[in-house]
Copies of this chain bind each other. A is one copy, B any other.
C-alpha cells in the first residue's frame, strides 16, 4: 500500500507534512511517496533533525499557492507537488493521495486527473464530524454549490458506503439536511431528492433532518448540497469555537474557577479530543476511481498522520468497488 503526499500544500507545509509522514511511516505498515522539491525537503528535514529514511521522494518543480486559480493544477502548475501526487495515483504508482493544499485546486485536480467512477455525476467532499452518538459524515460539504436531486441521491449512497466500509458503521442511517422534518419541506431540490433517496434500496434513508439534530450523530450520513453543507460544517466549527472561547473565559475568571479547571483536567482534554474532527483524518473526496483525502489547510503533523491512516483504510476498504456496483445496478434499473 502506497500513499502519495503533497508535501507543499497547507499552512504548515512542508515541516508538519514531513513530520506527519515520518510518524505515519513509524506507526503503520505503509509506503509513502513524498511529492515536492527534493532539495527543499532534504534541507528542511536536515535543519529540523528529521530522518527521511524509508520514504520515497518524488520531485515536483512548483507549488500551488493561495493566489493560483484552481485550474492552475492542470496546466501552468502541472508540475506542482499537488499535481504530481495526484498523477501518481492516476498512473497506478500510488493507491491514494493526501493533500492539505488549496481545496479548489484539489477538487479540480483530483476530478480531472484521477477521474470519476463511471456513473457518478459529481464527486463530493465529505466532512467526518464528531457527534454525541459517534461520528457522522456530512456530504457534500463544499465541492458542488449547485446540484440536482439525483446528485444528492448519489451523495447519500457514497456517504453510506464510506461510513460502512471505512468507519465500520453497520447500516448507516442517512438523512437529508432540511428546514423541517416533513416530506414537503425545503425547495424543489430537497423534495425531489427526498423521493429518490426514499426509493434508493442501497441506503437506509430516514427522512429529513433539521440543523438542530445534526450534531447528535443520530444519523451517520447527512446529505446536503455543497452550499448548505459548507454552511453547516463551518457553523458547527464556529459554534464549537465560540463555546470553547466562553469556557476559557470562565475558567480563567478567578482563583476558584482556575482551581475548578484544574480539577476538571483530564475531562477537559477528553472533551477537546472528542470534538477534534482532525482525529478522523481529513475530508474524503468520494466518487473518484481512487481515494483522495483533503486534509485541513491548518493541519499539523498529527492531522496529517490521521489523514494518511484514513487514506490507507479507505484504499483497502472496497468503497470504490461498492459504489461502482451500486451505480451500475441503478443504471440497469432504468
Contact = CB atoms under 8 A, between A and B. Distances in A.
Interface of A: 131-132, 142, 145-146, 177, 179-180, 185-187, 210-216, 226-228, 230-247, 250-251, 253, 256-257, 259-265, 267-268, 270-271, 274-275
Contact of A243 (B187, B240, B261, B270): B240
Contacts of A187: 145-146, 227
B235 A211 contact: yes
A261 B228 CA distance: 37
29 contacts: A132-B245, A132-B246, A145-B186, A146-B187, A179-B230, A187-B227, A211-B230, A211-B236, A212-B234, A214-B235, A215-B238, A215-B239, A216-B238, A216-B242, A228-B228, A231-B232, A231-B235, A232-B235, A235-B239, A243-B275, A246-B275, A250-B271, A251-B267, A256-B264, A257-B264, A259-B260, A260-B260, A260-B261, A261-B264
B256 A271 contact: no
Contact of A132 (B145, B231, B242, B250): B242
Given A142-B179, A260-B267, 13 more contacts: A145-B186, A179-B226, A211-B233, A211-B235, A211-B238, A212-B234, A231-B231, A232-B232, A243-B243, A247-B247, A247-B271, A251-B264, A260-B263
Contact of A267 (B227, B235, B241, B253): B253
A2 to B, nearest CB: 33
* Interface of chain A: mostly helix, strand, loop or mixed: helix
Contacts of A243: 239-240, 243-244, 275
Most buried by B among A177, A227, A275: A227
A246 to B, nearest CB: 5
B179 A231 contact: yes
Contacts of A228: 227-228, 231
Contacts of A237: 211-212
B212 A238 contact: yes
Contacts of A212: 234-235, 237-238, 241
A140 to B, nearest CB: 11
A235 B257 contact: no
A132 B216 CA distance: 24
B260 A234 contact: no
A310 B265 CA distance: 41
A104 to B, nearest CB: 9
A284 B210 CA distance: 21
Contacts of A242: 131-132, 215-216
A185 B145 CA distance: 9
A270 B245 contact: no
